[in-house]
Chains A and B, each alone.
Chain A
Amino acid sequence: MALLEVNDLKTHFFTKKGIVKSVDGISFQIEKGEILGIVGESGAGKSITGFSILRLIDDPGRIVEGEIIFDGEDLVPKSEEEMQTIRGNKISMVFQDPQTSLNPVITIGDQLIEAIVYHNRNVSKKEAFERCVAILEKVGLPAARKRMGSYPHQLSGGMKQRVVIAMALLNDPRLLIADEPTTALDVTIQAQILYLMKKLSQDFGSSLILITHDIAVVSQLCDRIAVMYAGRIVEYGTKEEIIFDPKHPYTRGLIACLPKLNDDTDRLYQIPGIMPSLLNLPEGCYFKDRCELADETCDVYPEKQVFGERVVFCHKVT
């Protein structure tokens, strides 16, 4: 049985301008120990998918339909109190910007200890302290014991992100959701952090959902990839399938955008046009206005097509 199974999840935002269907009927699964990458442009609904799993959707947003089955239990109908025992404990999250995701006026140590003690009342402060030092060493923070007394502003961006990852891993979560964990970091640090996350998820036996707009990142780390466009998954499959044999024209476009080492072109490829506004989605396939293959058949939203492990939503793929 899959660790997490998302079925037909719909998260809509009821704004004054209309209903924004940020996530509109997506389904995917993640097995124990697996790494799933969710790729897409800004506004495609990647982050909202992550927040929905943790039920961190604030007004005016709401999960209107669908199931999030984690470990055999549906999270959608759970109460806020039940969710609080799951957040940070069984499922935790790493945020995009380590500069702001640590509390600036509390020491690293106090923040980490609080994260343990909050979920396990019977753990003593001393025990918690030692556990924190151990985990900081594990994420490769130099002088971990000394750093426990530091404030976030005394650490560099990469160090802070290591602390954030350590905080997410403190309670041995079964699932870790990383929302663009490397976007705010230097390129030199990005690879280190990514491999650290991969290694840790292997060591801890936890699954990882990696949310990113960078298809190069997912191609290196992930077992499975889901490509999102305008609130829906357009293609879903194993890494090999998606990267080396993309079927959906949008996925192909994304991969064509990547610069190639042995290519001598002056300009990089770019997908023409922009993603439609979620308030004003076209009839039929959302990608048709930017798609080279589009014709009148695309005026109806494509049905799901399954090829082995791959799922594609496109009329032109056969």
Chain B
Amino acid sequence: MKFLNNELVSEFFEDKLAVAGLVIFVILSLLALFPSYVTYQNPYDLTQLYLENSFRPPGSDFFLGTDEQGRDIYSAMIYGLRISLYVGLASTILSVIIGYTLGLISGYYGGWVDTIIMRIADIQLSFPAILIALIIMALWGEGVGKIIIAITIVNWVYYARTARGVVLSEKEKDYAQSAKALGMGNLSIIFKEIMPNTTAPIIVIATVRIANAIILEATLSFLGLGVPITEPSLGSLISNGYQVLFSGYWWASVFPGMLLMVLIISINLIGDRMRDIMNPRLKR
């Protein structure tokens, strides 16, 4: 994107916390991208699991201990991280595409198009996000694809509302009028003229909401409605370990929980910095 010029990039790097967040996020993403290189067990491959290894404490042969199946927690966490990140990113990309487009159209055309889209959004926002996702997952059953769609359905609203708000002010500006006076059609004006002026808030919200999508997925998985137990995400690992948390096997739940926390914090640090540098009003 053109406005991501050097000025903004170098401004991003002025904040040490944000850089730390970015570094952590990049490391975690790399781990999640190439899990087989950084783990010594494939937690999905049942032939690699031995029951005599169940509930080994951290530090022994297994870096972070094992669960009741003898599954290495560290390896399971990396594979779980992969699924969590995949769900978070995929659902965010999908909801940006859907929500952004609907928001642009809604704000630009106004009238009944706007009314319909925004009333649906309002109705949806009047329910807690987790409730909507729970209903959808309860109806459809578990699965990675399904959870991505469920989170998309929950999250598109935020992009639609933000985009609509920005378009309402942008479309009144002279450049939109002059594009019209140049003979441009509505769709060209929306996507070629107005859209490039509305990307900053969308990028900021998307960054923050990736963390949100990951938490939502973890919550659903924790409640047993997310990804199937054969492909555990961080949420289902926490849930799995939670059952034996008070039996002394704390590591099965605490380590995945800590990884989830580190992931969310790193994304939020990046998101906060993005908000600061893209909001001209917060600049000194």
A: residues with CB less than 8 A from B are 54, 56, 83-89, 92-93, 95-97, 100-107, 114-115, 118-119, 164, 167
Q: From DSSP, what is the main secondary structure of chain B's interface residues?
A: helix
B contacts with A, residue count (CB < 8 A): 19
Interchain CA distance A106-B3 in the complex, whole Å: 9
Interface flag for B188 (CB, 8 Å): yes
Interface contact A88-B183, CB-CB below 8 Å:
yes
Interface contact A87-B193, CB-CB below 8 Å:
no
For residue A106, give the distance in angstroms from its CB to the closest CB of chain B.
6
Which residue of chain A has the shortest Cβ distance to B1 in the bound complex?
A105
Interface contact B182-A92, CB-CB below 8 Å:
yes
| With contact pairs A105-B2, A105-B196, A114-B192 given, residues A87 and B175 touching in the complex (Cβ less than 8 Å) | no
Which residue of chain B has the shortest Cβ distance to A119 in the bound complex?
B183
- Which chain B residues border A164 with CB–CB below 8 Å? 178
User: Which 7 A-B residue pairs are closest in the complex by CB-CB distance?
Assistant: A88-B182, A87-B183, A88-B183, A101-B174, A100-B174, A93-B181, A103-B175
Interface flag for B36 (CB, 8 Å): no
Interchain CA distance A29-B185 in the complex, whole Å: 29
| With contact pairs A100-B174, A105-B2, A105-B3 given, residues A56 and B196 touching in the complex (Cβ less than 8 Å) | no
Which residue of chain B has the shortest Cβ distance to A93 in the bound complex?
B181
Interchain CA distance A114-B193 in the complex, whole Å: 10
Of B174, B183, B184, most buried by chain A (CB within 10 Å of CB) is B183
For residue A19, give the distance in angstroms from its CB to the closest CB of chain B.
21
B: residues with CB less than 8 A from A are 2-3, 173-175, 177-185, 188, 192-193, 196-197
For residue B4, give the distance in angstroms from its CB to the closest CB of chain A.
11
- Which chain A residues border B184 with CB–CB below 8 Å? 84, 88, 118
Interchain CA distance A25-B241 in the complex, whole Å: 80
Interface contact A95-B178, CB-CB below 8 Å:
yes
Which residue of chain A has the shortest Cβ distance to B188 in the bound complex?
A118
Interchain CA distance A88-B177 in the complex, whole Å: 12
Interface contact A87-B174, CB-CB below 8 Å:
no
Interface contact A103-B182, CB-CB below 8 Å:
no
Interface contact A84-B192, CB-CB below 8 Å:
no
Interface contact B193-A103, CB-CB below 8 Å:
yes
Of B178, B185, B188, most buried by chain A (CB within 10 Å of CB) is B178
- Which chain A residues border B173 with CB–CB below 8 Å? 100
For residue B209, give the distance in angstroms from its CB to the closest CB of chain A.
23
| With contact pairs A95-B174, A105-B197 given, residues A56 and B180 touching in the complex (Cβ less than 8 Å) | yes
Interface contact A118-B181, CB-CB below 8 Å:
no
Which residue of chain A has the shortest Cβ distance to B110 in the bound complex?
A59
Interface contact A118-B182, CB-CB below 8 Å:
yes
Interface contact A101-B192, CB-CB below 8 Å:
no
| With contact pairs A100-B175, A104-B175, A118-B188 given, residues A87 and B196 touching in the complex (Cβ less than 8 Å) | no
- Which chain B residues border A118 with CB–CB below 8 Å? 182-184, 188
Interface contact B180-A87, CB-CB below 8 Å:
yes
Interface contact A95-B196, CB-CB below 8 Å:
no
Interface contact A102-B175, CB-CB below 8 Å:
yes
Interface contact B196-A103, CB-CB below 8 Å:
yes
- Which chain A residues border B177 with CB–CB below 8 Å? 56, 95, 101
- Which chain A residues border B192 with CB–CB below 8 Å? 114
Interface contact B178-A89, CB-CB below 8 Å:
no
Interchain CA distance A291-B192 in the complex, whole Å: 51
Which residue of chain B has the shortest Cβ distance to A164 in the bound complex?
B178
Interchain CA distance A100-B183 in the complex, whole Å: 18
Interchain CA distance A183-B178 in the complex, whole Å: 17
- Which chain A residues border B180 with CB–CB below 8 Å? 56, 87
Interface contact B196-A106, CB-CB below 8 Å:
yes
Interface contact A92-B181, CB-CB below 8 Å:
yes
